[in-house]
């Protein structure tokens, strides 16, 4: 069950901190090498062919993404991104359902991320990274993880999302509904902005797909014909957004 | 003899007090000095920060002098900022402490006077100035009081009394005090002019001129020369007037002062007009046009063009007159300068009269008349309101004073009272506003409705700046109710609201401008000979502008304060946390160090993120709170447990101001739970009720009384600075959003009467998060 890992981070103390944590909390992970930048990172990957790469997002000679882009082939390892504070990057990771850790690293979250990385196939990882790179100019695609696979959706094809316990059902244009293993709260945070609005505790809708509003029943009819309830308290907010867009 | 004793007694007192203070409170006194300097430099946030620290230390040390000094400065900050109610509380506290300290007492009294002066409660202001005056023995200080008293009398249209006070101010000042003396002479000159006492007004201008020639500041010289010319014109001595206007012209060219240059040029044009010298008159006015066209200021250009039109009209060049007048009207049609617009309409009607177009003449004359009437109506309306404001303020003040004198002040009662009285004040304003709108509509059926509302807003702006944003939204509401304002008005209102925002941002700039304008107020004359006997006083326009600026000073820059208050997090907590980490490292407990560090980082991240926003989702606020509580648990060795329950709402759909609950939780832990050996419980319940979001923070700790006893025996390590700040913050948020959020504390008891903990009840506005 032993897995090999390398740590790529331009600060030696950061490397040491993470190695210490891995030794203590993830004894199955062998840190076989480390590197301090994009160039040496690429060499380390080539030399060691690791199972797992901890990749710092911002380094002196480039960002972590550069390494992934400069790989000769598709990555054959799992990546866990590590960053101190970068909103933009974090949002990008979340859109692709990629794991990331924040510095200083929380031991519990480290164990969780490593456990997950061990289970995911390298192929799935390579696909997520592809989407991450495609999304560079804005988050156009989103990875929707389900029990043992994932679905890639265009953000502007999402008609609405509905809470279902700890799951969320995505209703999409031209596709079957998808049952996704994350809460609606998480997608609300991720998608809310000009287009998406939470109109009910169980409903997040894409305002561009609103067909009609029925004030009497306090319902919206979406372009796919679905009727969605607008909660009493959200009515004002909903109307304001509807007319501003 | 007595005077000597009194003086030496004072000196002794001072020396004694100073020695004592400096020996014990070097740090605090330095901070106070810094705060005072900040205050002078109008760095309110910094001043408040420093004074707060001193205030908290003073309370911990039970040092009343320090408490008095710091509350004085805090009060001053809030006064300058327009948070009058909060300011009153601190100033009264300070006043009580300095009851026996003559010098300080008079300073506090003067500030109270300033507060009421700014607030519009002139009578109250006067009372306090008089008290300050009778208390003080320092001529430097007394002269400022006299000036302020004079200003109030002049506001109240009691010119004689104002003159008396100004004379006293002059008598108290030294000859070196050039800026002060010049300002007072200027004020006297204004009063004389208003009473048509031109000789005395001239005297005052000459006195100013004397002062200025001896000083380095040549900037105001042109203005004074212009005003002298203006007054000679009133005395029908046009030759002398022309001489002084020309002197003013040369000076303003020398100093590069285009503002006084264009006005002086208009005046020169006017004099030549009176002398029937058309060419010279037109030459001067065209020169003025050149000056203002470089400025690209619509109002200035319109002013010049209208005078040009009047002159051309005088010499029967109707089509040219008509053109210039038309351009002037177009330039200011959409501005707020209604008196200038009414003047333009007047000239238009005269042009039409000459052209023989009776219908048009009548139309424009009516427009002029109506604008003028409305302007007059508004000024009477505000005069009537003064009595209302006075009585309102005095009842409010006596209530507050009573409550403060009463030793058992219940903070909650005070707050509720304040909320009530503020609400009442708003109601009165609203009522007056609606009444006057109706009145105006009746009186001016013909008048463009759009203009009524604009005019109302303009005057509103001058007197009601503090509540402006709120009232604009009220106006918008009343639009649909009364069906009085048109769609176009809504756009205008929006513009004004934006302008309002801009005003807030520009406040600092305007302050400097105001200081300048006090010296630079310029007068324009326009005399028509022959058939036209109207005299335009651009002077009126300038004083109007000045008032508008003055009231802009009262703007509370709430947003800045908000940011300041939000950025507070008890530094004790931050550094004690780091200390705990050090402890774990040194005891080789890497696991605890790691977990503590991760939690600490999570909290810092939340604070950084949340405090940059005005509102955050309840969910993320609670996440931050959890990190905070878990840290405290680790620090205190898990001696207590906690529960957070949110009922009937989705925490990620509700908005709340960041870091508002945390200080109270900190207080519960530090003063209640920390002293409990085991079985401590912290329970936070959040639920909606009647449009409010209730937050109950309960701890089963030792209770407030017992905690007080313990804390008396300790240093003030855990004195929560944040609690006070949160109280101020709620106050500010209430003022800004017109809401009634409040906080109360309930002591819990068991059935047999033993203390069983404390509940803090926060009543916040229920706001949706998007």
Angle at B739 between CA B735 and CA B743, to 5 degrees: 95
Residue of B nearest to A110 (CA): B598
Phi first, then psi, for residue B136 (nearest 5°) are: -85, 150
**Nearest-neighbour CA in chain B from A106: distance (Å):** 5
CA angle B745–B746–B752, rounded 5-degree value: 160
Are the beta carbons of B594 and A107 separated by less than 8 Å? yes
Last-in-domain residue among A88, A107, A136: A136
In terms of domains, do A129 and A158 share one? no
How is residue B246 written in tokens? 């020309």
Look up the CATH number of the domain holding residue A181.
Answer: 2.40.50.1020
Contacts of B351 (CB under 8 A, 6+ apart): B309, B313, B318, B321, B322, B325
Q: What residue in A sits closest to B620 (Cα-Cα)?
A: A189
Distance from CA of A3 to the nearest CA of B (A): 23
- The answer to whether B601 contacts A104, with C-beta atoms less than 8 Å apart, is yes
Shortest alpha-carbon distance between residue B301 and chain A (Å): 39
Q: Do B598 and A106 touch (CB under 8 A)?
A: yes
The four Cα atoms B149, B105, B141, B122 give a dihedral, to 10 degrees, of: -10
Distance from CA of B766 to the nearest CA of A (A): 10
Task: Say how many Å lie between the first and final Cα of chain A, rounded.
Answer: 53
Distance from CA of A56 to the nearest CA of B (A): 17
* pLDDT averaged per 10 residues, chain B (length 770): 49 46 69 86 80 84 86 86 76 86 87 83 85 85 89 85 90 82 88 86 86 72 85 85 88 82 86 84 88 81 86 84 88 77 85 84 84 70 59 60 46 46 51 46 38 43 44 46 40 48 42 36 38 29 33 37 53 80 88 92 87 87 94 86 94 90 88 85 95 93 75 50 70 74 87 87 91
Neighbours of B383 (CB within 10 A): 11
Query: Which residue, chain included where needed, has tokens 């009394």?
Result: B161
Chain A residues whose CB is inside 8 A of the B597 CB are 104
Distance CA B373, CA B744 (A): 51
Q: Are residues A160 and A130 in the same domain?
A: no
Are A81 and A162 members of one domain? no
Residue A26 has pLDDT above 90, yes or no: yes
Asked if A128 and A12 sit in the same domain, the reply is yes
A220 with A121, same domain? no
Which phi-psi region, left, alpha or beta, contains residue B82 (left: φ > 0; alpha: ψ -120 to 50)?
left
Residue at token pair 């703007």 = B555
As given in the structure block, the two tokens for residue A12 are: 């030696």
Q: What is the pLDDT of residue B459?
A: 42
**Interface with A, mutate which of B591, B691, B770 (most A CBs under 10 A):** B770
Contacts of B650 in chain A (CB under 8 A): 201
Residue A141 lies inside a defined structural domain of this protein: no
Query: Three-state DSSP class for B747?
Result: strand
Q: What is the DSSP string of B156-172?
A: TT-HHHHHHHHHHHHHH
Q: What are phi and psi of B681, to 5 degrees?
A: -135, 130
The residue assigned the tokens 């939690």 is B599
Does residue A236 fall inside a structural domain? yes
d(CA A198, CA A150): 24
Q: Which two tokens stand for residue B685?
A: 């319940």
The residue of chain B nearest to residue A203, with distances taken between CA atoms, is B653
Q: Are residues A131 and A42 in the same domain?
A: yes
Asked if pLDDT for residue A41 goes beyond 70, the answer is yes
Verify whether the Cβ–Cβ distance B597 to A234 is below 8 Å.
Answer: no
**Is residue A148, in this structure, part of any structural domain at all?**
no
Residue A146 domain-assigned?
A: no
Chain B residue with minimum CA distance to A233: B768
CATH code assigned at A63: 3.40.50.2300
- The per-residue pLDDT for B563 is 52
* Chain A CB contacts of B594 below 8 Å: 21, 24, 104, 107
Question: For residues B374 and B379, what is the distance between their CA atoms, to the nearest angstrom?
Answer: 9
Both A104 and A66 in a single domain? yes
> What is the predicted pLDDT for the residue at B512?
37
**Cross-chain residue pair A20–B590, CB shorter than 8 Å:** yes
B517/A148: higher pLDDT: A148
Q: Which of A24, A106, A234 sits opposite B590 (nearest CB)?
A: A24
Same domain, A35 and A99: yes
Q: For A21, which of B594, B601, B768 is closest by C-beta distance?
A: B594
Q: Shortest CA distance to B105 belongs to which of B137, B83, B77?
A: B137
Whether residue A104 is preceded by a cis peptide bond, meaning omega within 30 degrees of 0, is yes
CB B115 within 8 A of CB B87: yes
**What is the rounded average pLDDT for all residues in chain B?**
73
Residues of B in contact with A107 (CB under 8 A): 591, 594-595, 598
Work out the pLDDT band at A53, boundaries 50, 70, 90.
very high
- Closest by Cβ to B598, choosing from A20, A107, A185: A107
Kindly state the tokens that stand for B324.
Answer: 């210039």
- Rounded Cα distance between B660 and B624, Å, is 11
Asked if B299 contacts B318 with a C-beta cutoff of 8 angstroms, the reply is no
For an interface test with B, give the residue of A26, A110, A192, A233 to mutate (most B CBs within 10 A).
Answer: A233
- Under 8 Å CB-to-CB from B11, ≥6 apart: which residues? none
Q: What is the pLDDT of residue B610?
A: 82
CA-based nearest distance A123→chain B, Å = 32
Q: Which residue of A has its CA nearest to B599?
A: A106
Pick from B585, B595, B598 the residue to mutate for testing the A interface (most A CBs within 10 Å): B598
Question: Domain for residue A147, yes or no?
Answer: no
Class of domain B561-768: alpha beta
Report pLDDT digits (tens) over A152-176: 999 999 999 999 999 999 999 999 9
How does DSSP classify residue B671? I
* Closest A-chain CA to B649: A201
Looking at residue A157, its pLDDT comes to 94
Going by C-alpha positions, the residue among B140, B144, B117, B119 that lies closest to residue B128 is B117
Could you give the count of Cα atoms lying within 13 Å of B563 in the half-sphere of its Cβ? 8
Task: Round to whole Å and give the CA distance between B209 and B180.
Answer: 14
Residues of A in Cβ contact (< 8 Å) with B692: none
Q: Which residues of B touch A (CB under 8 A)?
A: 590-591, 594-595, 597-599, 601-602, 605, 619, 650, 652-653, 768, 770
Q: Quote the CA–CA distance of B540 and B458 in Å, as a whole number.
A: 15
What is the β-pairing status of strands B525-526 and B616-617? unpaired
Q: Tell me what ipTM this predicted complex has.
A: 0.87
Dihedrals phi, psi of B768, to nearest 5 degrees? -75, 140
Contacts with B653 from chain A: Cβ below 8 Å: 198, 201, 233-234
Residues in chain A closer than 8 A to B601 (CB atoms): 102-104, 106
Residue of chain A minimizing CA distance to B688: A233
**How many angstroms separate the CA of residue A163 from the nearest CA in chain B?**
13
Is there a contact between A104 and B652 if contact means CB atoms under 8 Å apart? Answer: no
Residue B754 buriedness (CB in 10 A; 0-12 / 13-18 / 19+): exposed
- The distance of B393 to chain A (nearest Cα, Å) reads 37
pLDDT for position B216: 63
How far apart (Å, rounded) are the C-alpha atoms in residues B93 and B502? 35
CB distance B652–A185 less than 8 Å?
yes
Question: What's the rounded Cα separation, in Å, for the pair B392 and A149?
Answer: 70
Q: Compute how many other C-beta atoms are within 10 angstroms of the C-beta atom of residue A227.
A: 11
Same domain, A100 and A175: no
Which of A106, A136, A166 terminates a domain? The answer is A136
Contact A201/B601, CB-based, under 8 Å? Answer: no
What pLDDT does B623 receive? 94
Count of Cβ atoms closer than 10 Å to residue B175 Cβ: 8
DSSP A98-155: --EEESSPPHHHHHHHHHHHHHS-HHHHHHHHHHHHHGGGS--EEEEE-SS-EEEEEG
Q: Considering chain A, what is the average pLDDT of its residues? A: 90
A26 plus A75 within the same structural domain:
yes
Q: How many domains does chain A have?
A: 2
Q: Does residue A21 sit within a domain?
A: yes
> For residue B613, what is the DSSP state?
S
Residue numbers in A near B770 (CB within 8 A): 192, 197-198, 237, 241
Cβ proximity of A17 and A42 under 8 Å:
no
pLDDT tens, residue by residue, B312-360: 887 888 888 888 888 888 888 777 677 788 888 888 888 888 888 888 8
- Mind telling me how many Å the CA of A159 is from chain B's nearest CA? 19
| Contact residues, chain A to chain B, C-beta under 8 Å | 20-21, 24, 85, 102-109, 185, 188-189, 192, 197-198, 201, 233-234, 236-237, 241
Domain containing residue A235: 153-244
Residue B272's closest CA among B264, B281, B259? B281
Where does a domain end: A136, A161, A184?
A: A136
Q: Exposure pattern of A170-193 as b/e (b: 16+ CB <10 Å)? A: bbbeeeeebebebbbbebbbbbee
Task: Please answer yes or no on whether B653 and A105 come within 8 Å at the CB atom.
Answer: no
Q: Are residues A167 and A108 in the same domain?
A: no
- The ranges assigned to domains in chain B are 561-768
| Inter-chain contacts counted by CB atoms under 8 A, chains A and B | 44
Best mutation target, B584, B600, B768, to test chain A (most A CBs within 10 A): B768
Query: What chain B residue is nearest to A240 in terms of C-alpha separation?
Result: B770
Residues in A touching B591 (Cβ below 8 Å): 24, 107
Residue B419's pLDDT is: 53
Within a domain: residue A23? yes
Substitution target from B585, B603, B653, B687 for chain A, most A beta carbons within 10 A: B653
Residues A87 and A164 both lie in one domain: no
Compute the C-alpha angle B480/B486/B490, nearest 5°.
80
Q: Which of B597, B598, B652 lies at the smallest CB-CB distance from A188?
A: B652
A20: chain B residues, CB-CB within 8 Å: 590
């Amino acid at each position: 069950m032993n897995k090999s890992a390398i740590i790529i981070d331009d600060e030696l103390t950061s490397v040491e901190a993470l190695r210490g944590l891995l030794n203590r909390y993830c004894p199955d992970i062998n840190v076989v090498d480390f590197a301090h930048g994009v160039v040496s990172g690429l060499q380390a990957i080539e030399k060691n062919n690791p199972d797992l790469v901890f990749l710092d997002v911002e380094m002196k000679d480039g960002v972590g993404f550069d390494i992934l882009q400069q790989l000769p082939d598709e990555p054959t390892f799992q990546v866990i991104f590590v960053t101190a504070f970068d909103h933009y990057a974090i949002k990008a990771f979340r859109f692709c359902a990629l794991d990331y850790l924040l510095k200083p690293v929380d031991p519990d979250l480290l164990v969780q991320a490593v456990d997950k990385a061990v289970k995911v196939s390298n192929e799935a990882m390579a696909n997520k990274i592809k989407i991450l790179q495609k999304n560079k100019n804005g988050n156009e695609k989103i990875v929707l993880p389900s029990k043992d696979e994932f679905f890639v959706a265009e953000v502007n094809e999402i008609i609405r999302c509905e809470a279902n316990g700890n799951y969320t059902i995505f209703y999409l244009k031209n596709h079957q509904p998808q049952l996704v293993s994350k809460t609606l709260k998480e997608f609300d945070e991720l998608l809310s902005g000009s287009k998406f609005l939470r109109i009910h505790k169980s409903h997040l809708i894409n305002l561009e797909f609103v067909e009609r509003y029925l004030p009497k029943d306090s319902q919206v009819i979406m372009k796919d014909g679905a009727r969605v309830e607008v909660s009493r308290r959200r009515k004002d907010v909903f109307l304001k957004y509807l007319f501003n867009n | 003899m007595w005077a000597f004793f009194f003086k030496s007694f004072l000196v002794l007192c001072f020396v004694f007090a100073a020695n004592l203070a400096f020996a014990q409170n070097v740090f605090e006194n330095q901070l106070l000095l810094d705060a005072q300097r900040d205050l002078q430099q109008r760095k309110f946030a910094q001043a408040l920060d420093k004074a707060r620290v001193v205030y908290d230390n003073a309370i911990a040390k039970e040092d009343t002098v320090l408490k008095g000094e710091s509350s004085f400065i805090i009060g001053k900050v809030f006064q300058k900022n327009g948070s009058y109610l909060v300011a009153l509380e601190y100033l009264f506290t300070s006043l009580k402490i300095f009851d026996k300290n003559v010098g300080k007492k008079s300073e506090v009294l003067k500030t109270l006077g300033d507060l009421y002066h700014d607030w519009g409660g002139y009578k109250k202001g006067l009372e306090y100035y008089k008290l300050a005056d009778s208390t003080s023995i320092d001529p430097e200080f007394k002269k400022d009081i006299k000036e302020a008293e004079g200003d109030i009398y002049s506001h109240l249209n009691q010119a004689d009394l104002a003159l008396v006070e100004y004379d006293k101010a002059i008598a108290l000042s030294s000859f070196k005090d050039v800026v002060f003396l010049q300002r007072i002479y200027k004020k006297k000159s204004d009063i004389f002019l208003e009473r048509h006492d031109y000789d005395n007004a001239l005297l005052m201008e000459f006195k100013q001129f004397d002062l200025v020639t001896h000083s380095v500041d040549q900037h105001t010289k042109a203005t004074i020369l212009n005003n002298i010319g203006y007054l000679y014109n009133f005395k029908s001595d046009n030759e002398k007037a022309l001489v002084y206007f020309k002197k003013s012209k040369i000076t303003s060219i020398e100093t590069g002062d285009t503002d006084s240059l264009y006005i002086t040029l208009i005046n020169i044009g006017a004099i030549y007009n009176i002398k029937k010298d058309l060419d010279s008159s037109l030459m001067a006015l065209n020169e003025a046009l050149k000056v203002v066209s470089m400025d690209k200021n619509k109002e200035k250009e319109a002013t010049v063009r209208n005078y040009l039109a009047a002159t051309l009209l005088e010499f029967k060049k109707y089509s040219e007159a008509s053109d210039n007048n038309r351009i002037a009207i177009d330039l200011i049609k959409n501005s707020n300068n209604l008196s200038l617009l009414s003047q333009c309409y007047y000239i238009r009607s005269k042009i039409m009269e000459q052209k023989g177009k009776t219908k048009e003449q009548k139309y424009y004359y009516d427009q002029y008349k109506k604008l003028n009437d409305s302007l007059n109506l508004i000024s009477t309306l505000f005069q009537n309101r003064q009595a209302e404001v006075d009585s309102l303020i005095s009842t409010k003040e006596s209530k507050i004073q009573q409550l403060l004198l009463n030793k058992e002040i219940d903070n909650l009662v005070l707050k509720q009272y304040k909320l009530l009285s503020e609400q009442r004040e708003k109601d009165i304003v609203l009522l007056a506003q609606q009444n006057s709108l109706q009145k105006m509509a009746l009186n001016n059926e013909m008048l463009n409705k759009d203009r009524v509302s604009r005019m109302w807003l303009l005057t509103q702006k001058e007197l009601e700046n503090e509540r402006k944003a709120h009232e604009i939204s009220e106006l918008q509401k009343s639009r649909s109710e009364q069906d009085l304002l048109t769609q176009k008005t809504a756009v205008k209102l929006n513009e004004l609201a934006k302008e309002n925002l801009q005003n807030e941002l520009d406040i600092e700039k305007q302050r400097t401008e105001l200081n300048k304008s006090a010296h630079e107020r310029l007068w324009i004359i326009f005399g028509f000979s022959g058939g036209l006997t109207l005299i335009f006083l651009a002077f009126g326009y300038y004083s109007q502008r000045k008032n508008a600026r003055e009231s802009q000073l009262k703007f509370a820059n709430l947003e800045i304060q908000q940011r300041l208050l939000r950025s507070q997090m008890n530094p004790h907590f931050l550094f004690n946390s780091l200390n705990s980490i050090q402890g774990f490292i040194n005891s080789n407990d890497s696991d605890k160090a790691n977990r503590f560090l991760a939690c600490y980082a999570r909290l810092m991240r939340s604070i950084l993120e949340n405090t940059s926003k005005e509102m955050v989702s309840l969910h993320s606020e609670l996440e931050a709170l959890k990190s905070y509580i878990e840290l405290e648990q680790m620090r205190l060795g898990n001696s207590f447990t906690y529960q957070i329950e949110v009922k009937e709402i989705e925490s990620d759909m509700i908005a709340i101001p960041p870091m508002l609950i945390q200080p109270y939780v900190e207080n519960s832990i530090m003063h209640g739970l920390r002293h409990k050996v085991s079985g401590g419980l912290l329970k936070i319940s959040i639920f909606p009720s009647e449009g409010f979001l209730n937050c109950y923070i309960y701890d089963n700790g030792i209770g407030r009384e017992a905690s007080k006893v313990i804390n008396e025996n300790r240093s003030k390590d855990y004195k929560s600075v944040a609690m006070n700040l949160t109280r101020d913050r709620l106050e500010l948020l209430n003022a800004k959003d017109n809401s009634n959020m409040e906080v109360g504390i309930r002591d819990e008891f068991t059935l047999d009467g033993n203390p069983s903990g404390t509940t803090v009840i926060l009543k916040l506005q229920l706001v949706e998060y998007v």
